[in-house]
Amino acid sequence: MSDQTTTTGSADELLAELQSQVEAYERGSATAEYSPEGRILRANDAFAELVGADPAEIVGTEHRSLVSPEVSGSAEYAGLWEQLRSGSNHTGEFRLLWQGSGDRWIRSSWVPVKNRAGQVVKVIEHALDVTEGKRAAADAQGKIQAISRSQAVIEFDLDGHILDANENFLAVVGYGADEVIGRHHRMFVSPDTAESAEYADFWRRLRQGEFVSGEFHRYGKQGRDVWLQATYNPIFGPDGKPWKVVKFASDVTEAKTRNADFEGKVTAIRRSQAVIEFDLEGTVLEANDVFLGLMGYRLEEIVGRHHRIFVDAAEADRPEYRAFWEKLGRGEFHSAEYRRIAKDGREVWIRATYNPILDADGKPVKVVKFANDVTAEKLRNVEYAGRLAAIDRSQAVIEFDLDGRILTANENFLNTVGYALEEIVGRHHSMFCTDEYAASDEYRDLWARLRNGEFRSGRFHRRGKDGRDVWLQSSYNPILDLSGRPVKVIKYAYDVTEQVRLEEQLNARAEHLSVPA
């Protein structure tokens, strides 16, 4: 009797301990019990809170009411309950749709409970809310997918062997996935780079978990140059140790080529032109050797000083000079010929552009000036202008197009023929000729030769206003363009009318004296 009592007491104690453990587990876990057909028999407060209802509201309802119709109507869902009724455990994740619970995901363990005959009499579900983890995973997956859609992505093991690559990366380098997976990263670099200490150190740093970023020169299929703006990112396992490397990259080959083109052009400009840089107030920041040689300064003599050191004091004090820099500060471009003063006081003429440089927001940050020395050209032009002015003061000058129509004439010519300018512009040269001469082959030949670029000179009989006789010692000069083609004709002339009359009188007297009495 005492042995039976002892045994019974031990069983009761064991049952009480087991019951206590179950209650303790249920206090920390969302738990529900179901009939083998899936009807809820009992649910603790944690489970009811998880599905957004009171325990009494859900007892007696079907489990299928907690999930979407798409799930509850599926073959997989029917198979779940068949599996549980057969006595097999199940673990899975479900999206709850209970009224008021919102969008929640749970991870559940289903345990069938059997009677002594081995029949399943109920099913116990232990559930864990994994909504936040699910959302975080979806967010991370979405970000990774977004990056993968927009960037070139490739994965390596810690030794540099390729594990995977997305379509963007394969398109950049021109390979198929089967051509790169399993091969080493060195397939994308030159042999010299692959054998270098720097390359070995690059992979050593990645194996140690260091992040590496920069602009990298790589080679695609058939040796094609590829430039990548890339980050190499060691991925760490649960133990905190790196186990692979993921590279995210953008193809900047086109931009790199374009920048190289720009840099080449700027370098060419700087070799051939005088270049100087200023801040927006006109303080010198930098200048090239061509500019320094032109103005006779050393760089250290001008950096930090104002542009006004290159202009005379009178110009620097003018409102126009201050307005010039105000306009540049607003981003306005300027181009012209400018008179400047060199270190030794020389007058220097430059043909220059002042170019405001804008930042990414379109705001001016500095001014770059490109200039050519045109001092010699300017002096030649001044000399030419002086000569032309002297000719204009002393000779009769008239200009024609190649068909003989009058373009302009100076005062000396107008006084010689007695016309005002508006009376002759647009009319033909033949207005100064007799009708007989204007209709002659000789006259047509004159203009044909001039159109061919032939120079003509001599003494010519012309008619002034009201038909008076005018004699001119003239040269007809075809003016050529840069290609050597005639574009117009300029005639320079002296009025020799009085000289011709005197010659005619002398000839007449000589003839009279030679006649026998």
414 and 372 within one domain: no
49, 255, 389, 419, 461 from 415: Cα distances, Å: 114, 67, 17, 7, 16
Q: What pLDDT score was predicted for residue 314?
A: 94
Angle, vertex CA 425, rays to CA 419 and CA 427, nearest 5: 95
Of 378, 409, 429, the residue at which a domain comes to its end is 378
109 and 173 within one domain: no
Per-residue pLDDT tens over the stretch 38-89: 999 999 888 888 887 888 888 999 988 888 888 888 999 899 999 999 999 9
Cβ neighbours of residue 340 closer than 8 Å, sequence gap 6 or more = 295, 310, 311, 347, 348, 349, 350
Per-residue pLDDT tens over the stretch 336-372: 999 999 999 999 999 999 999 999 899 999 999 999 9
77 and 106 within one domain: yes
Quick one: pLDDT band at residue 12, thresholds 50, 70, 90? Answer: low
Q: What pLDDT score was predicted for residue 430?
A: 96
41, 386, 454, 515 from 490: Cα distances, Å: 117, 17, 12, 45
Average pLDDT score over the chain: 89
Domain hosting 465: range is 395-502
123 and 95 within one domain: yes
Q: What pLDDT score was predicted for residue 58?
A: 86
67 and 108 within one domain: yes
**Mean predicted confidence (pLDDT) in 410-425:** 96
User: With contact defined as beta carbons under 8 Å apart, do 53 and 73 qualify?
Assistant: no
- Amino acid of residue 36: P
Q: What pLDDT score was predicted for residue 137?
A: 76
403 and 374 within one domain: no
Of 191, 224, 256, the residue at which a domain comes to its end is 256
498 and 399 within one domain: yes
Q: What pLDDT score was predicted for residue 7?
A: 52
Q: What pLDDT score was predicted for residue 26?
A: 56
Question: Which two tokens mark 130?
Answer: 């994994």
Per-residue pLDDT tens over the stretch 270-285: 888 999 999 999 999 9
Q: Quick one: which of 204, 203, 225, 200 has its CA closest to 215?
A: 225
Domain annotation covers residue 451:
yes
Stated as kind and residue range, the H or E segment containing 235 is strand 225-236
247 and 155 within one domain: yes
Q: What pLDDT score was predicted for residue 161?
A: 98
**Mean predicted confidence (pLDDT) in 5-13:** 59
Based on the structure, what is the number of domains in the chain?
Answer: 4
User: How many CB atoms lie under 10 A from the CB of residue 324?
Assistant: 19
Q: Does pLDDT of 303 surpass 80?
A: yes
The gap between the terminal CA atoms of the chain, to the nearest Å, is 200
Q: Quick one: which of 55, 51, 73 has its CA closest to 64?
A: 73
Cβ neighbours of residue 263 closer than 8 Å, sequence gap 6 or more = none
Q: Does pLDDT of 158 surpass 80?
A: yes
Domain annotation covers residue 144:
no
The values of phi and psi at residue 344, to 5°, are -85, 10
Q: Does pLDDT of 235 surpass 90?
A: yes
Per-residue pLDDT tens over the stretch 86-133: 999 999 888 887 555 567 888 889 999 999 889 999 999 988 888 888
249 and 159 within one domain: yes
Ranges of beta strands (E only) in 140-203 are: 152-156, 162-165
Stated as kind and residue range, the H or E segment containing 5 is helix 2-27
Ranges of beta strands (E only) in 115-167 are: 120-129, 152-156, 162-165
Q: What pLDDT score was predicted for residue 258?
A: 86
pTM: 0.50
Q: What pLDDT score was predicted for residue 164?
A: 95
d(CA 461, CA 468): 11
Q: What pLDDT score was predicted for residue 517?
A: 55
293 and 220 within one domain: no
Domain annotation covers residue 271:
no
Per-residue pLDDT tens over the stretch 182-203: 999 999 999 999 999 999 999 9
Domain annotation covers residue 139:
no
Burial 68-92 (b: 16+ CB within 10 A, else e): eeeebeeeebeebbeebbeeeebee
Domain annotation covers residue 280:
yes
Domain annotation covers residue 16:
no
d(CA 290, CA 282): 20
Q: Does pLDDT of 1 surpass 70?
A: no
187 and 103 within one domain: no
Cβ neighbours of residue 81 closer than 8 Å, sequence gap 6 or more = 36, 37, 38
Per-residue pLDDT tens over the stretch 455-504: 999 999 999 998 999 999 999 999 999 889 999 999 999 999 999 999 88
**Residue 404, Ramachandran bin (φ over 0: left; ψ between -120 and 50: alpha; else beta):** left
119, 445, 491 from 451: Cα distances, Å: 120, 10, 14
Any idea which of 19-33, 88-102, 238-252, 329-343 has the lowest mean pLDDT? 19-33
User: CATH code at 106?
Assistant: 3.30.450.20
Cβ neighbours of residue 148 closer than 8 Å, sequence gap 6 or more = 166, 168
Question: Looking up tokens 């198929």, which residue turns up?
Answer: 176
Q: What pLDDT score was predicted for residue 215?
A: 94
407 and 364 within one domain: no
Domain annotation covers residue 409:
yes
Domain annotation covers residue 40:
yes
Of 378, 413, 430, the residue at which a domain comes to its end is 378
